[in-house]
């Protein structure tokens, strides 16, 4: 039987399904007291994907790059030192004090044990200092949440990329600019949802296409402009007449194609080979429910960004997988980990652990520990116990957590079975992925009791405003490298705008080589423009908009006959397109009839 509960945090009702109870029983945890969305948001507040700061290392005393803000609580060590034997986490061990809530004691420990400055494996980064949540990079600049890239700049979620600039979710691709969701494709510009294609401009939903401009919903096509076929010679001549090196042309065309794309149907969900799944961006998975960005996973629910397979048996897992199973309410855990609950940043063979951060290296049976990288087991608050004492003490702590729960600033009660409260996060709301997926204004965030940081006042002087940049890349002189450019948003947006930015030399070389104009927005604002094309982590129940011969808003005329002939398609579905959006949404059957 489904059970309806009231969320402690937002006070909305949420449903716990029978299969959920089974999972909680298996994991020996009580059912959650936060609704799925509040749980997701709470975890997201612990993930700073792309803000970098300068902070003093508590090891060397040097100012170093860090994902932790200068005034945040973590003591940081250079990542290389942090992973080494230069320090011993057991030196921070302490007894459990049963006169205080356990989570309060964990937070005290967390403030003392060093954190790695950045989440990177430093030895795999070559000339790529301005990066985080990354490994195996060469000559990369401001790329995040990323691996195995060379010569990439300003990107997020870029894997196996070469010369990918301003990309979001770009995999196995080369020489591309300003795209969202591109796979195995080269020379793709200003486009979304492109797979196995090359030489594409301003297009959406293309597969196995080449030399297309302003196209949508095409398969295996070449030399098309706004979905019309051209001969190769005509196409080349047309393309030459399009002045893609001009900023004005790019802006005008972006608007034009957006309107053009909206004349064509979208599939209700972007899933591929997703058996018995709900959610979106799910590939080759089975029983992935209420989950997003999932690849080759089985039996997962309320999870996100499990894109490094395999993953199985996970509830409320945010990032990353790679051989993980039986994970509950955890963030950034993976690499052969098993049986983790309420953990953050635990990897490399960790198992049977709870309420632990920054641990790995085959450690197991940890409860409330930080920084255990060397195969330690049976530890509580970084103190070593015998197996028997550990088991007894853990049961006693669980009872204690229920009897003397932690209460956070919002008044939420944290008994055993909750993830860490937001106030344990060293990051402010607007510098985490919570702001990307659940955007708030400063006032809204503060009202909810979340922290916020206004952009730092910097002492540079803007030397040229975005409006005064040359329109065409051909007019740009090398002296642009010395300018401080004012972002066109002037910090009036809610996009972590840095107010000003610079062009670096290899970036200028890229724009010149690819014939692309200079950007007018700072890297953060550019990132947030691409984020807008990502569908939300939310589903709406809707009806197929195929009315037989055309879409029911009369905009799109079907190219083929459908099974339901000239009557309205009766299919209903879940979709991430809310009812107030301009896009036309078809069920899978009707959509596939129309992509040609
Ligand atoms: Zn809620
Ligand atoms: Zn900006
Ligand atoms: Zn902005
Ligand atoms: Zn139809």
- Neighbouring residues of 244: CB distance < 8 A, sequence distance ≥ 6: 189, 201, 250, 515, 516
Q: Which of 455, 487, 520 is the last residue of a domain?
A: 520
DSSP string, 156-204: EEEEEEEEEEEEEEEEEEEEEEEEEEEES-EEEES-EEEES-EEEES-E
Instruction: Give tens-digit pLDDT for 507-553.
Output: 999 999 999 999 999 999 999 999 999 999 999 999 999 999 999 99
Give DSSP secondary structure letters for 365-423.
EEES-B---S--EEEETTEE--HHHHHHHHHHHHHHHHHS-EE-TT--EE-TT-PPPGG
Cα-to-centroid distance, 491 and ligand 3 (Å): 6
Q: Report which secondary-structure segment, H or E, holds 589.
A: helix 588-594
Indicate whether 250 and 379 sit together in one domain: no
443 inside domain = no
Distance 527 CA to ligand 2 centre (A): 10
567, two tokens:
């009557």
Q: Which residue has the tokens 């609950």?
A: 341
Between CA 285 and CA 305 the distance in angstroms is 13
Q: How far is ligand 2, taken at its centre, from the CA of residue 182, in Å?
A: 24
Mean pLDDT of the region 346-357: 97
Q: 200-209: long-range contacts at Cβ-Cβ below 8 A with a sequence spacing of 24 or more?
A: 201/242, 201/244, 202/253, 202/254, 202/257, 203/257, 204/257, 204/261, 205/266, 205/595
Distance CA 533, CA 418 (A): 32
Ligand with smallest separation from the Cα of 9:
1
Q: Which two tokens stand for residue 314?
A: 């996970």
- 129 and 243 share one domain: yes
Same domain, 322 and 231: no
Tokens coding 393: 């003490």
Q: Taking each helix axis from N to C terminus, what angle separates 102-112 and 387-403, rounded to the nearest 10 degrees?
A: 120
Which ligand is in closest contact with the Cα of 6? 1
Q: Would you list the DSSP string of 293-348?
A: EEESEEEEES-EEE-BS-EEEEEEEEEEESSEEEEEEEEEEESSEEEEES-EEEES
C-alpha 295 – ligand 1 centre gap (Å): 27
CA 495 to centroid of ligand 2, rounded, Å: 7
- Tell me how far apart the alpha carbons of residues 201 and 235 are, in angstroms, rounded to a whole number: 13
Kindly state the percentage of the chain with pLDDT values over 70: 100
Residue 121 reports pLDDT greater than 90:
no
Residue 422 is assigned to a structural domain of this protein: no
CA 314 to ligand 1 center in whole angstroms: 20
Per the structure, the count of domains in the chain is 4
**Does 457 score more than 80 pLDDT?**
no
548 lies in a domain?
yes
pLDDT at 122: 86
Average pLDDT over residues 242-267: 97
Distance 166 CA to ligand 3 centre (A): 15
Q: How far is the centre of ligand 1, averaged over its atoms, from the C-alpha of 375 (Å)?
A: 37
Among 415, 420, 396, 418, CA closest to 404: 415
8 Å CB contact between 489 and 522: yes
Q: Does the residue 256 lie in any domain?
A: yes
Indicate the SS3 state at residue 471. Answer: coil
Cross-strand bridge partners of residue 57? 76
Confidence band, pLDDT 50/70/90 cuts, at residue 433: very high
Q: Are residues 293 and 192 in the same domain?
A: no
Length of the chain: 596
State the chain's mean pLDDT as an integer. 97
Alpha-carbon distance of 543 to 271, in angstroms, equals: 18
| Burial (Cβ within 10 Å: 0-12, 13-18, ≥19) of residue 427 | buried
226 with 289, same domain: the answer is no
What is the whole-number distance in angstroms between the Cα of residue 488 and the centre of ligand 3?
8
CATH number at residue 346: 2.150.10
Residue 42 lies in a domain: no
Q: Which of 403, 422, 444 is where one domain is finished?
A: 403
Whether the per-residue pLDDT at 456 is higher than 90: the answer is no
Residue 489 Cα, ligand 3 centroid: separation in angstroms?
5
- Cis peptide before 310, with omega less than 30 degrees from 0? yes
The Cα 62–Cα 94 span in angstroms is 29
Q: What distance in angstroms lies between residue 533's CA and the mean position of ligand 3's atoms?
A: 15
DSSP 246: B
Distance of CA 565 from the midpoint of ligand 4 (Å): 7
Identify which ligand lies nearest to the alpha carbon of 490: 2
Closest ligand, as measured to the CA of 550 = 4
**Distance of CA 293 from the midpoint of ligand 4 (Å):** 28
In this prediction, residues 178-204 reach a mean pLDDT of 98
Q: Are 378 and 384 in contact (CB under 8 A)?
A: yes
Model pLDDT, residue 91: 98
Residue 455, pLDDT > 90, answer no
Whole-model pTM? 0.96
Q: Is the pLDDT of residue 86 over 90?
A: yes
Domain end (from 379, 403, 427) = 403
Ligand nearest to the CA of residue 547, numbered in listed order: 4
In this structure, which ligand is nearest to the CA of 10? 1
Q: Are residues 258 and 311 in the same domain?
A: no
Q: How far is the CA of 42 from the centre of ligand 4 (A)?
A: 40
587 shares a domain with 499:
no
For residue 377, tell me if it sits in a domain.
yes
What are 566's two structure tokens? 């000239």
In this prediction, residue 459 has a pLDDT band, given cuts at 50, 70 and 90, of confident
Averaged over 580-584, what is the pLDDT?
Answer: 94
Residue 177 lies in a domain: yes
Note the ligand closest to the C-alpha atom of 560. 4
| 129 C-alpha to ligand 4 centroid (Å) | 51
Q: Is residue 328 part of a domain?
A: yes
Task: Provide the domain limits for residue 202.
Answer: 122-267
Quick one: which ligand is closest to 12's CA? 1
Please give the distance, rounded to the nearest whole angstrom, from the Cα atom of residue 40 to the centre of ligand 1. Answer: 9
Domain shared by 211 and 347, yes or no: no
Same domain, 158 and 142: yes
Residues 505 and 552 in one domain: no
- Please tell me whether residues 360 and 475 are part of one structural domain: no
What is the spatial distance between Cα 588 and Cα 278, in angstroms, rounded to a whole number?
A: 14
Asked if 244 and 233 count as a contact pair (C-beta separation under 8 A), the reply is no
**Is residue 274 within 8 Å of residue 282, measured between CB atoms?**
yes
Nearest to 542 by CA among 533, 550, 551, 529: 551
Residue 250 phi/psi, 5-degree rounding, is -60, -45
Ligand nearest to the CA of 466: 2
495 CA → ligand 3 middle, Å: 5
CA pair distance 488, 523, nearest whole angstrom: 12
Q: Are 346 and 356 in contact (CB under 8 A)?
A: yes
Measured distance CA(72)–CA(403) in Å, rounded = 31
Ligand that comes closest to the CA of residue 487: 2
DSSP letter assigned to residue 208: S
Residues around ion ligand 4, judged by CB within 5 A, are 546, 562, 569, 590
User: Which band of pLDDT confidence, cut at 50, 70 and 90, is reported for residue 226?
Assistant: very high
Per the CB < 8 A criterion, the answer to whether 558 and 577 are in contact is no
Q: Quick one: 150 and 199 in the same domain? A: yes
Between the CA of 447 and the centroid of ligand 1 the distance, in Å, is 15
């Amino acid at each position: 039987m489904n059970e309806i509960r009231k969320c402690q945090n937002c006070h909305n009702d949420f449903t716990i399904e029978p299969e959920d109870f089974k999972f909680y029983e298996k994991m020996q945890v009580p059912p959650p007291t936060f609704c799925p969305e509040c749980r997701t948001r709470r975890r997201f507040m612990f993930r700073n994907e792309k803000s970098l700061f300068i902070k003093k290392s508590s090891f060397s005393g040097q100012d170093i790059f860090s994902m932790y803000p200068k005034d945040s609580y973590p003591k940081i060590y250079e990542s290389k030192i942090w992973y080494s034997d230069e320090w011993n986490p057991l030196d921070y061990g302490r007894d459990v004090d049963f006169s205080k809530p356990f989570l309060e004691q964990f937070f005290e420990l967390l403030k003392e044990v060093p954190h790695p400055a950045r989440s990177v494996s430093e030895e795999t980064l070559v000339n790529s200092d301005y990066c985080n949540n990354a490994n195996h990079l060469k000559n990369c600049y401001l790329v995040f949440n990323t691996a195995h890239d060379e010569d990439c700049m300003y990107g997020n979620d870029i894997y196996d990329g070469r010369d990918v600039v301003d990309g979001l979710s770009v995999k196995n691709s080369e020489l591309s600019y300003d795209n969202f969701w591109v796979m195995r494709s080269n020379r793709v510009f200003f486009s979304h949802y492109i797979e196995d294609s090359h030489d594409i401009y301003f297009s959406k939903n293309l597969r196995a296409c080449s030399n297309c401009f302003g196209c949508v919903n095409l398969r295996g096509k070449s030399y098309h402009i706004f979905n019309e076929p051209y001969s190769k010679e005509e196409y080349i001549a047309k393309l030459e007449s399009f002045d893609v090196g001009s900023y004005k042309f790019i802006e005008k065309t972006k608007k034009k194609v957006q309107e053009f794309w909206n004349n064509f149907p979208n599939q209700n969900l972007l899933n591929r080979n997703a058996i018995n799944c709900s959610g979106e961006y799910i590939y080759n998975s089975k029983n992935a429910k209420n989950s997003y960005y999932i690849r080759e996973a089985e039996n997962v629910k309320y999870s996100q960004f499990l894109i490094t397979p395999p993953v199985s048996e996970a509830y409320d897992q945010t990032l990353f997988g790679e051989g993980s199973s039986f994970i509950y309410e955890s963030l950034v855990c993976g690499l052969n980990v098993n049986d983790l609950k309420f953990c953050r940043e635990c990897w490399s063979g960790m198992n049977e652990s709870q309420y632990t951060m920054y641990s790995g290296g085959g450690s197991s049976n940890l409860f409330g520990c930080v920084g255990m990288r060397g195969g330690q087991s049976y530890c509580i608050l970084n103190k070593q116990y015998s197996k028997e004492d550990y088991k007894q003490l853990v049961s006693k702590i669980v009872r204690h957590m229920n009897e003397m729960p932690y209460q956070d600033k919002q008044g939420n009660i944290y008994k055993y079975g909750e993830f860490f409260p937001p106030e344990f996060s060293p990051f402010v709301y607007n510098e985490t992925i919570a702001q990307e997926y659940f955007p708030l204004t400063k006032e809204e965030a503060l009202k909810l009791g979340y922290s916020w940081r206004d952009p730092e006042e910097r002492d540079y002087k803007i030397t040229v405003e975005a409006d005064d940049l040359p329109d065409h890349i051909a007019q740009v002189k090398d002296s642009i490298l010395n300018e401080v450019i004012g972002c066109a948003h002037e910090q009036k947006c809610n996009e972590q705008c840095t107010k000003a930015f610079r062009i670096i030399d290899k970036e200028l070389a890229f724009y010149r080589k690819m014939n692309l104009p200079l950007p007018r927005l700072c890297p953060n604002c550019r990132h947030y423009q691409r984020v807008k094309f990502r569908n939300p982590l939310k589903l709406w129940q809707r009806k197929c908009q195929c009315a037989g011969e055309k879409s029911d808003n009369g905009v799109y005329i079907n190219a083929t006959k459908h099974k339901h002939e000239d009557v309205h398609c009766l299919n209903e579905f879940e979709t991430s397109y809310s009812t107030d959006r301009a896009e036309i949404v078809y069920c899978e059957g009707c959509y596939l009839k129309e992509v040609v």
